[in-house]
Amino acid sequence: MKVKSVYLVVFAAFVAGAALASLALQPAEVLKTVSVTVTETNTQFSRITVTEYTGITKTLTSLSYTTVTEKVTTTRTVTRLVTITEEAGEGVEVLDICFSPDGDCLEVLLSFIQNARESVYVMIYVFTLDDVADALIDAAARGVDVKVLIEADSAFIRGSEYSRLAENGVEVRLDRNRYLMHNKVAVIDGRIVITGSMNWSFRGAFRNNENIIVLEDPNIAAEFIDEFNKLWRLAG
């Protein structure tokens, strides 16, 4: 459960009027500036100075003001738990772990995509790697069900693969849900999940310290596919 507290402080509107009324200015006197200094630890203005065009300066001290404080609390609760169990010797298998820029993370991506037989479902924030786009295009050409969901904010940056994928037989959509789609995920053949921090970009693969982990488990894959299908429908 996450709790977020927001404090709204409303200053009473009558303060400015009270300050002017206390000065008892004559009709001929013209107000030029009002400067206010407030101490955060006190409940009073420490000093208010009013300067008129006539050059006369009047000072008020200890002018009280009223504050209204409201505490707003929002609560988020856990609505679903996913249990991953191991039965009959079967469980989650870690197929690969890669760290960029020193590891061969690009080769890891290419290897699993090139060996896909049934489906490749992708949710990606930034996608500018030509080799990975080529692998997805080739997979679609050999009959693999390839779907790619790209964050709309990054789909048209320099080097984006969005247009090339769409023009070469890959089903591709722009994510349009109200949140930033920051996933870096590929689900392959309904059982392999590739995820981690690395965007599919030159910077992600060769310049940043990033990571990729490859897991094999149909239950975990099903969770990611459910999320993919939800965002895919919203993007349609």
Secondary structure tally for the chain: helices H, strands E: 6, 13
236 residues of the chain, pLDDT tens digit each: 433 333 333 333 333 444 434 444 444 444 444 444 444 444 444 444 444 444 544 454 555 545 554 544 445 555 555 555 545 346 899 999 999 999 899 999 999 999 999 999 999 999 999 999 999 999 999 999 999 999 999 999 999 999 999 999 999 999 999 999 999 999 999 999 999 999 999 999 999 999 999 999 999 999 999 999 999 999 98
- Say what the alpha-carbon torsion angle 222, 231, 172, 130 is, to the nearest 10 degrees: -70
- pLDDT in the model for residue 222: 98
Annotated active-site positions, please?
182, 184, 189
- Alpha helices per DSSP H over the chain: 14-23, 105-114, 130-141, 162-166, 202-206, 218-235
The Cα 73–Cα 182 span in angstroms is 27
Compute the C-alpha angle 143/145/146, nearest 5°.
115
The two beta strands, 2-11 and 192-196, are unpaired
Q: How far apart are CA 226 and CA 219, in angstroms?
A: 11
Domains of the chain: residue spans and CATH: 2-76 (no CATH), 93-235 (3.30.870.10)
CA pair distance 140, 167, nearest whole angstrom: 12
